Amino acid sequence: MCTPAAGRVRLNVGGRVFETTADTLASAGRDTMLGAMLDASWNVPATTSEYFIDRDPACFAVLLDLLRTGGLHLPPHVPEAALCREALYYGLLDRVRAARWADLDGDRLRLAASVPGRAPGDGAAVRAAPDGGCCVAHGAAVRVYNWMLQERRPVHLAHKPVNDAAYLDAATLLVATRDSSGGGVAAFSALTGDLRHRYLLTHDRQPRPFTPGALAFDNHHSTIFASCKGRLNEYGVAAWDAATGEQADFFYEPPACALGDADALQWLHGTGTLMAATMFPRADSSFVTLLDFRCRTVAWSWSDVGTPASLEDKHAVHAVAMEDGWSVCVVNQYDDLGFLDLRSNARGVRWRSGSKLTGRKKVCAEETCYPKLATHGGQLFASTTTGAISVFSGPDHALTSTLRASDGGVVCDLSIGGDRLFALHNEENVFDVWETPPLPII
Amino acid sequence: MSSQKKRPARIEPFRHKVETDPKFFEKSWKKLHDAIREIYNHNASGLSFEELYRTAYNMVLYKHGPALYDNLIKTMTEHLQEMRISIEDAQGGLFLEELQRKWDDHNKALQMIRDVLMYMDRTYIPSSKKTAVFDLGLELWRDTIVRSAKIHGRLLDTLLDLIHSERMGDVINRSLMRSTTKMLMDLGSSVYQDDFERPFLEVSASFYSGESQQFIECCACGEYLKKAQRRLDEEAERVSQYMDAKTDEKITAVVVKETLTNHMQRLFLMENSGLVSMLVEDKYEDLTMMYNLFRRVPDGHSTIKSIMTSHVKETGKSLVTDPERMKDPVDFVQRLLNEKDKYDNIISTSFANDKGFQNALNSSFEYFINLNNRSPEFISLYVDDKLRKGMKDANEEDVETVLDKVMMLFRYLQEKDLFEKYYKQHLAKRLLSGRAASDDSERSMLVKLKTECGYQFTSKLEGMFTDLKTSQDTTQGFYAANPSDTADAPLISVQILTTGSWPTQPCSTCNLPPEVLAVSEKFRAYYLGTHNGRRLTWQTNMGSADIKVTFGNGSKHELNVSTYQMCVLMLFNTADCLTYRDIEQATAIPPVDLKRCLQSLALVKGKNVLRKEPMSRDISADDSFYVNDKFTSKLFKVKIGTVAVQKESEPEKMETRHRVEEDRKPQIEAAIVRIMKARRVLDHNSIVTEVTKQLQPRFLPNPVVIKKRIESLIEREFLERDKVDRKMYRYLA
């Protein structure tokens, strides 16, 4: 063997000699280049007593350090992109990603990047990918970023305006578009931007044009949901089987529910129901309903039609189901948080008095973006009309952190996924990426 | 020149045309191609992994991924074709070995090819949605070799032939089988299922269908079950040795269906060896096997259960309706208990104490015990027998077990009140004649009845015990109060029985001998003196006496006799010869009792204290009686029994039954009133159901009787019929 002593390995990487142990290299795993190279089925070059690898030594030093310590330390002269390229060569990219950031904790966030946008249209939505990448729906296209925040080929459905986007998995992206003749829902490869499948809708076995609004994905039953407006009053929520691509169901809009217009859909795994929220100002009043597709019933519903006049100027503008599965959080245009109890029907919103921390400013400019909500790990994230993001923690949702970053204006959408928080700003289409740094060793 | 527009001088940027080597792909691919060849030829020692990896990396980097992928398929297919030919050429038994060898080679090579193309696996393949290299290698192996025309059928036949010969007792190379099925599983569960498992199950089904047909023709049931069990074990072992664990369930289902389900009825009903004869002969081992095997068969256990039930009902029915058995109640009950023990043993040893079987057994016992309406009487007699005698040398625990078993039978009785009647009678006899073997056993039986039927059921029985206790105290008190007066008179021991607690007896008095009469009158005076407002009647038909006799031949004995017998014997103190008529006049004992009493004094061999003339069995009015001076006995104390009928005679039985019927009337009425009080309005059928439900623990009321009771209650204006709906009754408060 080439090893000078038992278990030791000499590597010559681009001219620089490294000495390490076989165990350190094997810790990378058999399905990496280094692991395979040391495998018994591959014989050692007989002439020299060391392995030669024709790659950049500086990056290799960083990666070897990663294998040795589990931590990632990037010296100033090594560009990050180069490191990622080398990590991909060795098959260590996943390790690099894992070492970059820890599990998301709203109180320990740092701004990882601010990615400038170039799109002509307004940013409609930002969606986080399960692996830490994201996509931004701008006007008629969806820009896709990998977790290194390098832009991939954008996705579009014949350049039609995008209503919503959702990740089925890290490599598949679902896009809902609208146009004058209807619209469509289609799945794309997030890696290459190729069209994978178009989801069609039939009523009475007749294919019908429709305009999809919001999207949701239930990854336990692999079902795709979309709020739909049909040409012939076929309003409701459509369901497709993601595996076969066939239409699985259609929940027709019951009276006074405005399902077809829903802005937000969310699958609640605990109860096996779909939350559909239709919010002011798209509708005159706000509706939140829980749909049970198994028995085709509305399991729970709430609307603010007929609220007392004193509260009339307050409208719920966004809703998110809490992770505990028995309440829905809503927010109004003055950043007040309120809660709806899913365990009892037809109760009003319990507005939180303490949430008026930001003060009530009468901002009613046209450019105003209404607040948005997101949840993760028991924490509640709310973008505010002042352009910051508030983090609420604990059972009583106390304000614990406020995130404020680039001056791209008000946050118009936020999304959490892959242990990262993405915030899309109204002006300039800049989006901020927030992540939790690994805990210090001591 | 000047007219010409002056073109600004432009500096063209230096256009460096990036010339990629046009032969780059060919060169690189050749390198990989050669390496793949060397790998397949087991000659990889000269290859540099780093170089090959870098080459593949560069090819993917420069967008040659699709071509690389296509070429990989082509090359790998070529190598597999070569392997196929060499496998096809393998003869006979070498076929599987050659297949196995090539499979190992391919696997090894595939592993190395994947190492080289790892970068393609990570980048090009996910984005183009192609099959990863390793899986591609398996697919190619499957399509080129396993499913090729010449190998596909041959492989399956070889495997099935080997399994068949193993079933026939040959030894086969199991490790080769294991590695072959493992190969099929590695190719994907669908390959294993389609190309091996399904045909295997089909072949097995036909094999076992034939074999079981053959066995069932020539084997007895137990033997057949043994064979089936062995086959099941074999198949389970086979699966664990060289098949996918999931096949276990399927092949077991096939064997069970072919050998057990299809022949279930025939096996159970087999003459001389089927289920019934197993039960009769207590073949625990066979029954256990049957129970365990038919657990897997749908309806298996329920069929066993129903056959057992009908067998138990049949034998039970013939037992309880056999007139021969009616003659000996103790034997009758003992047989029931034995039968119960037998099946309890079968269920606990062979049927894993299955609750369903226990319930089936209980319901069949309940069915046939109640077929004989004398069962309550017989059971009470059995208890009487056990508590009276024979148990003297048995210890408490044995008595307890017997009593527990009897309680089991008691639970099956529908007419529990009838049992109570008889039990009371028998208990009274036991207590009054002082023949109860053990007070503890008596009480323990009472406790059992109490737990089973509640306080009400046993309150009177308990009253009987209390009476005896107080009587003892009262007698002692009597002698303490009159120490002098009674010194010469016969000692009496009086048992004061509360009317109602004890079975009612027609009060038949007799003339007591004057000595006794005197002391009893004193006692009466004492008792009435201490207890105000009570009435005391002598039940002379139930007492007993010890008298000392000196016979003419000088022999002295102490006789233990009944009160009636004492009265008769005392007459002979003053006379030598008395006729029946004389005796009847002097004692005023009812004729039936007197006859019985004289019979026992004069006609029982060895205990004939009196001599009768003429010496006939029957007693007529003119017969004369003498003291038998020739009386001898080895014992000083002689017990003169009464010629008693242990079993009830026919009219007595009728009477008991009548009394029971009478007693039931108020109970039924009480139940009706209770129900109507709660419900106010109810229809006829509901009342009948509810009453039956309420009274079930004591007896099963007859609907006709219930109807009569309802009518009687209507007459007495407890209820009325609804004016509109005649079926409805209304409670009148």
pLDDT band per the 50, 70, 90 thresholds, residue B505: low
d(CA B366, CA B360): 10
User: What one-character-per-residue DSSP string does A177-227 give?
Assistant: EEETTEEEEEEEETTT--EEEEE--EETTEE--EEEEEEEEETTTTEEEEE
**Record: contact B50-A52, CB cut-off 8 A:** yes
What are the tokens at B134?
Answer: 């390793």
Of residues B647 and A128, the one with the higher pLDDT is A128
Q: Does the structure show a pLDDT above 90 at B652?
A: no
- For B390-411, the pLDDT digits (tens) are 555 566 777 788 888 888 888 8
Cβ contacts of B323 within 8 Å, gap of 6 or more: none
Picking from A37, A91, A191, the nearest residue to B50 by CB comes out as: A37
For position B133, what pLDDT does the model report?
A: 92
Residue ranges of the alpha helices (H) in B482-532? Answer: 514-530
The mean of the pLDDT values for chain B is: 84
pLDDT score at B602: 79
Q: Is the pLDDT of residue A134 over 90?
A: yes
Short-list B493, B507, B606, CA closest to B545: B493
Greatest alpha-carbon span in chain B: 190
Residue A174 has pLDDT above 50, yes or no: yes
Q: What is the arithmetic mean of pLDDT over B108-133?
A: 90
Q: Which H or E run includes B389?
A: none
Most A CBs within 10 Å, among B40, B54, B119, B127, to test the A interface: B127
Give me the residue from A53, A54, A191 closest to B127, CB to CB.
A191
Q: Give B511-536 pLDDT, tens digit per residue.
A: 788 878 888 888 888 888 888 778 78
DSSP B621-649: TT-EEEE-TT---S-SEEE------SSPP
Give the C-alpha separation, B683 to B691, whole Å.
12
The predicted structure's pLDDT at residue B595:
80
A contacts of B45 (beta carbons < 8 Å) = 43
> Is A106-435 in CATH node 2.130.10.10?
yes
Per-residue pLDDT reduced to its tens digit, B689-702: 888 888 887 788 88
Beta strands in B127-228 (DSSP E): none
Retrieve residue B362's tokens: 């209980």
From residue A99, how far is each of A71, A84, A111, B324, B682 by CA, in Å?
A: 6, 12, 16, 94, 80
Q: Does A2 touch chain B (CB under 8 A)?
A: no
Q: What are phi and psi of B371, to 5 degrees?
A: -65, -30
Residue A327, pLDDT score: 87
CB within 8 Å: A37 and B53: yes
Q: Which residue has the higher pLDDT, B22 or A245?
A: A245
Q: What is the DSSP code (8-state) at residue A368?
A: P
* Phi, psi values for residue A375, rounded to 5°: -125, 150
SS3 B509: coil
Query: Tell me, what's the pLDDT at B81?
Result: 92
Contacts of A85 in chain B (CB under 8 A): none
- Chain B residues near residue A45 by CB distance under 8 angstroms: 48
Nearest CA of chain A to the CA of B42: how many Å?
10
Name which residue leads in pLDDT, B19 or B178: B178
> Each residue of B255-265: pLDDT tens digit?
999 888 888 88
Question: In this model, does residue A61 exceed pLDDT 90?
Answer: yes
For residues B484 and B36, what is the distance between their CA atoms, to the nearest angstrom? 132
pLDDT for A409 beyond 80:
no
Write down the pLDDT at residue A311.
55
Task: Note the pLDDT of residue A336.
Answer: 83
Q: What angle do CA A123, A126, A130 make, to 5 degrees?
A: 160
CATH number for domain A4-100, candidates 2.60.40.730, 3.30.710.10, 3.40.50.2000, 3.30.70.270: 3.30.710.10
Distance CA B674, CA B667 (A): 10
Nearest chain A alpha carbon to B120: A89
Pair B450, B465: CB distance under 8 Å: no
CB atoms within 10 A of CB A265: 24
DSSP of A249-306, one letter per residue?
A: EEEEPPTT--GGG-SEEEEETTTTEEEEEE-TTTSSS-EEEEEETTTTEEEEEEE-TT
At B328, which amino acid appears? D
In contact, A427 and A409? CB cutoff 8 Å: yes
B59: closest CA of chain A, how far (Å): 13
Distance CA B583, CA A251 (A): 106
A4 pLDDT tier (thresholds 50, 70, 90): very low
Pairing type for strands A350-351 and A316-321 reads: unpaired
> What confidence category does residue A364 fall into, taking pLDDT thresholds of 50, 70 and 90?
very low
What pLDDT score does B450 carry?
A: 86
Helix (H) or strand (E) holding B421: helix B416-432
Rounded Cα–Cα distance for residues A314 and A333 (Å): 7
β-sheet bridge partners, residue A300: A290
pLDDT(A357) > 50 = no
**Dist CA B250 CA B260 (whole Å):** 15
pLDDT of residue A1: 41
Interatomic CA distance for residues B719 and B410, integer angstroms: 35
* Rounded Cα–Cα distance for residues A216 and A208 (Å): 21
Q: Say if residue A354's pLDDT is above 80.
A: no
DSSP strand E in B252-345: where? none
> For residue A313, what pLDDT is reported?
65
Tell me what pLDDT residue A365 has. Answer: 46
- The average confidence (pLDDT) of chain A is 83
Quote the strand ranges of B555-635, DSSP E: 556-562, 577-579, 610-613, 624-627
CA B460 to chain CA mean position, Å: 35
The average pLDDT across A103-124 equals: 80
Q: Would you state the pLDDT for residue B7?
A: 63
B99 CA: distance to closest CA in chain A (Å): 22
Look up residue B349 and give its two tokens.
């040893």
Query: Nearest-5° angle of CA B313, CA B319, CA B321?
Result: 95
Query: Which amino acid would we find at residue A292?
Result: D
Of A168-172, A331-335, B451-455, where does the model show the most confidence? Answer: A168-172
- Return the residue of B nearest to A88 by Cα: B119
The whole-number average pLDDT for the span A210-237 is 86
DSSP, collapsed to helix, strand or coil, labels residue B716 as coil
Cβ separation A42–B115 shorter than 8 A: yes
- Measured CA to CA, the distance from residue A67 to residue B548 in angstroms comes to 116
**Any idea what DSSP says for residue A102?**
B
Q: Could you tell me where the DSSP H helices lie in A33-108?
A: 33-37, 57-69, 80-90, 93-100
Residue A133 CA to its chain's centroid (Å): 8
Domain boundaries in chain A? 4-100, 106-435
Name which of B122, B128, B133 to mutate to probe chain A: the one with the most chain A Cβ atoms within 10 A of its Cβ: B122
Question: Per-residue pLDDT tens for B28-45?
Answer: 999 999 999 999 988 877
**Does residue A89 surpass a pLDDT of 90?**
yes
Interface test with A, best of B38, B53, B112 (most A CBs within 10 A): B53
Q: What is the largest distance, in Å, between two alpha-carbon atoms of chain A?
A: 89
- Check A53 against B123: CB less than 8 A apart: no
Q: Is A171 on the interface with B (CB under 8 A)?
A: yes
8 Å CB contact between A316 and A280: yes
Range with the poorest average pLDDT among A361-365, B49-53, B419-423, B657-661 = A361-365
**Which of A210-214, A406-410, B83-87, B298-302 comes out lowest in average pLDDT?**
A406-410
What is the distance in angstroms between the Cα of A193 and the nearest Cα belonging to chain B?
Answer: 9
pLDDT category of residue B631 using cuts at 50, 70 and 90: confident
Where is A142: in which H helix or E strand?
strand A141-145
d(CA A409, CA A423): 11
Nearest to B511 by CA among B602, B590, B626: B590
Q: Measured between beta carbons, which residues in chain B are less than 8 angstroms from residue A133?
A: none
Report the pLDDT value the prediction gives residue B373, as an integer from 0 to 100.
Answer: 80
Rounded Cα gap, residues B361 and B344, in angstroms: 8
